[in-house]
Structure 1
Amino acid sequence: MLVFALLLAPLCGGLFYIAALQSALPPRRWAMLGCLFGPAVLPLFMARRRWQLLCARGMGYGLLRA
């Protein structure tokens, strides 16, 4: 189990790095968090990405589709 976690950490770091680049978030910070905590950072990443999008577009823009 520990070997699986050690192999999963760099993979998660790389995936978070790529996702942060695509979302205009600081990639090194998210890669470090991904390497340290693995997939447990995903809810925090999604919330931060949504907040960044909301700040960029403004409060009057609807993000939910009907």
Structure 2
Amino acid sequence: MMLLLLFTAPFFGLCYYVAAVQSALPPRRWALLGCLFGPAVLPLFMAKRRWSLVCARGMKYCLWHA
């Protein structure tokens, strides 16, 4: 079990790093969180990404998803 965690930690760190760069969030912080906590950080990452989008566009901007 420990071996599995040891091998998947860099994978999740890399995934969060790439997603953070694409979302204009601090990549090193999210890569570290991804390495430490793995997929458990995903809800926090999505909320932060959404909040940064709202802050950039403003509260009155309507974003419709089909």
| TM-score, with structure 1 as normaliser | 0.92
Supply the RMSD in Å over aligned alpha carbons. Answer: 1.1
Task: Tell me how far 1:45 sits from its aligned partner.
Answer: 0.3
5+ residue gaps in structure 2? none
Q: Residue in 1 aligned with 2:34? A: 34
Letter in 2 for 1:12: F
5+ residue gaps in structure 1? none
Large movers: runs of 4+ above 4 Å: none
Task: Tell me how far 1:6 sits from its aligned partner.
Answer: 1.2
| TM-score, with structure 2 as normaliser | 0.92
How many residue pairs end up in the alignment? 66
Task: Provide the C-alpha distance between the structure 1 equivalents of 2:63 and 2:40, rounded to a whole number of angstroms.
Answer: 25
- Structure 1 vs Structure 2: percent identity of aligned residues? 68
